[in-house]
Structure 1
């Protein structure tokens, strides 16, 4: 099987409401969709949602990278040779993980279809039967966040990821308000997205949070300040998760060596796709560090790719892949698998996602065919 054509689409995915985190507000999500076509007639779908604050890639740069470099590189390649595909991309382009993730995901999708198996069967088989779906609360006023959480509890949600990171004491009020509203049985995870900046601010917040039963505190400090994570972990009873600070194997080696986190948040867009994500999960497992699969708020395509990784690995204990339930219009049909409070994958081959090409055309701003 050989790749004969690659089509690239720049799309705007419409959110039901703006997504607000410490460093940005997103009225919609700019995504790059890749369609890989093969000489046997099979098609694979991939996705890239870059974030210039984390990977240094923008939607424009990612589109250009795929159009001018990575897509032409794939013509004539066997999409089932994952190690070779990544070596070829890495030798040609330094980093650019979100762009590479689109190619990687499309290759896994078409390989699964060729073998008539779900992608998780290519990764060691299915381990988990289902995962709880975590609702993500964007930054807002304490009362508004608490009321939204209360409403979601009535819909069946049992865990929340709170976005904070604008001001330490205001964030403490937000977290306390949500805890008071939902009670002690509901899981709360706090994601600062680097917003508290340093260990001093973080430790100040922790003094107010340690009695609230927080599942974990995620990336409170600047992404490259691994030593600050070490200090916080040594002085806190709240488990510490690293997110923006774990992008590749070099980061993982340092985190393991310094014991800088209790948990790591692996995202396909940060590391380059399914194949590198599995390598990171294996490294974490050897060190006894629990993993989560997170997202950059991808469509059904990118979200399904993350789920296949998560469902195949014992060390992956949680997922936060909520794009399909946050969009007012999606490219695929993964939303049907969200059966609150859980998600269960289908047995369909490849990613298991049917792409609606009419909606893709409607949401596309730009497209190019490489052959």
Structure 2
């Protein structure tokens, strides 16, 4: 009997990395940070037969605590040495990596994704074949949203109108800096894009009382809000549960959710209707799948999201999104903000719909180290 896809033994010959810097088309602003260009690190895992897989990690100091230098240091000093020379199937190779730890989750994710990509390529299968639960069908498409970053109401209204004109039907609205101004921002967006569905993301910016007041007010007005993401501080799980109990709008956990242990804690507290799963927080695909499995077991819907990350990271997130049945939403618009869309392949966006392109592993071309180098 032949082994399952990805479980035939392979050997890791080398782990490499190269750094890049990509300008954004316009600044990305949240309650936590402002970004005008993204520095990121690409990790390559080469197998003994010459197969190369790639992953990437973006600098997200305000969220994961990692900058490009710390990502490189973690790859060079921790994850690369742990993996180089290892032999085994996918599970065996991943077992060689230290567990995700705060301050190195993006770096670990880059290596984890590169391992998945290399193993899937060596097996001649798309990455979804390694991620989909047995007996489940891979989804063909999921509808992407477009983020409207946190700026003055007029600018946000203009960005919303541009997104809708380009085919977006779901807008993710960044709020969370000032409650009164947040209301003005929200109404400006609605006036500019009255047919759009809205996902609101406060990025921990409200108190429990303010969150309940603003969400209840939106419900009283009948605004087309599908969910509110991380309205209160990540550490305040009890506060998040209070918000959820006081409103009918679905509440999504993001910054409060890093691991499957966090997922269990949120479930036990009754703190979230929805989970936002991000590979840069989970430390890779393996624990992201574990979170999605828990969510499915407890009737919690999942979104796969990202931070301001390059196309390699997003390609992995798209593979996960279409492979796992618990994932019903995506927030994967980050590459649309980048001035460069390298490398080619992986997936395509047709209108607002994400669809995988055929190919092995991530189905991406290798990113040339000379592309947007630092």
How does the TM-score come out when normalised to structure 1?
0.92
Whole-angstrom CA distance in 2 between matches of 1:86 and 1:97: 14
Give 2:130's match in structure 1, choosing from 122, 135, 143: 122
Give 2:71's match in structure 1, choosing from 48, 62, 84: 62
Conservation of the 8 A alpha-carbon contact between 1:169 and 1:205: no
Give 2:174's match in structure 1, choosing from 152, 163, 175: 163
Q: 1:162 Cα shift?
A: 0.7
Conservation of the 8 A alpha-carbon contact between 2:158 and 2:192: yes
Q: 1:334 Cα shift?
A: 4.4
Secondary structure of the residue aligned to 2:122 is helix
Label 1:309 to 1:62 Cα distance change in 2 as closer, same or farther (>3 A): same
Label 1:94 to 1:237 Cα distance change in 2 as closer, same or farther (>3 A): closer
> Higher mean Cα deviation, 250-259 or 146-155?
146-155
Give 1:88's match in structure 2, choosing from 81, 88, 96: 96
Whole-angstrom CA distance in 1 between matches of 2:51 and 2:260: 32
Q: 1:340-359 alignment to 2 at 5 Å?
A: 340-357=351-368
Whole-angstrom CA distance in 2 between matches of 1:59 and 1:172: 36
Q: 1:300 Cα shift?
A: 1.5
How does the TM-score come out when normalised to structure 2?
0.92
Q: 1:298-317 alignment to 2 at 5 Å?
A: 298-317=309-328
The equivalent of 1:220 in structure 2 is: 231
Conservation of the 8 A alpha-carbon contact between 2:315 and 2:347: no
Whole-angstrom CA distance in 2 between matches of 1:314 and 1:296: 22
Q: 1:232-251 alignment to 2 at 5 Å?
A: 232-251=243-262
| 1:29-74 deviations in Å (ceiling 9; x for gaps) | 1211101111101110011125333333332222111111211111
Unaligned runs of 5+ in 2: 1-9
The equivalent of 1:188 in structure 2 is: 198
Q: 1:208 Cα shift?
A: 2.7
Label 1:167 to 1:233 Cα distance change in 2 as closer, same or farther (>3 A): same
Whole-angstrom CA distance in 2 between matches of 1:277 and 1:289: 14
Secondary structure of the residue aligned to 2:239 is helix
Whole-angstrom CA distance in 2 between matches of 1:218 and 1:334: 31
Label 1:17 to 1:57 Cα distance change in 2 as closer, same or farther (>3 A): same
Whole-angstrom CA distance in 1 between matches of 2:157 and 2:77: 47
Q: 1:26 Cα shift?
A: 0.6
Whole-angstrom CA distance in 2 between matches of 1:116 and 1:148: 42
Larger relative contact order (Cα-Cα within 8 Å, sequence gap ≥ 6): 1
Unaligned runs of 5+ in 1: 366-371
> Higher mean Cα deviation, 327-336 or 259-268?
327-336
The equivalent of 2:4 in structure 1 is: none
Whole-angstrom CA distance in 1 between matches of 2:52 and 2:249: 45
Whole-angstrom CA distance in 2 between matches of 1:336 and 1:317: 17
Whole-angstrom CA distance in 2 between matches of 1:17 and 1:234: 37
Whole-angstrom CA distance in 1 between matches of 2:371 and 2:315: 22
1:175 aligned to 2:183? Answer: no
Conservation of the 8 A alpha-carbon contact between 1:300 and 1:324: yes
The equivalent of 1:100 in structure 2 is: 108
Paired residue total = 359
Secondary structure of the residue aligned to 2:370 is helix
Q: Please tell me the root mean square deviation across aligned C-alpha atoms, in Å.
A: 1.7
Label 1:335 to 1:150 Cα distance change in 2 as closer, same or farther (>3 A): farther
Conservation of the 8 A alpha-carbon contact between 1:230 and 1:258: yes
Secondary structure of the residue aligned to 1:329 is coil
Q: 1:88 Cα shift?
A: 2.8
Secondary structure of the residue aligned to 1:71 is helix
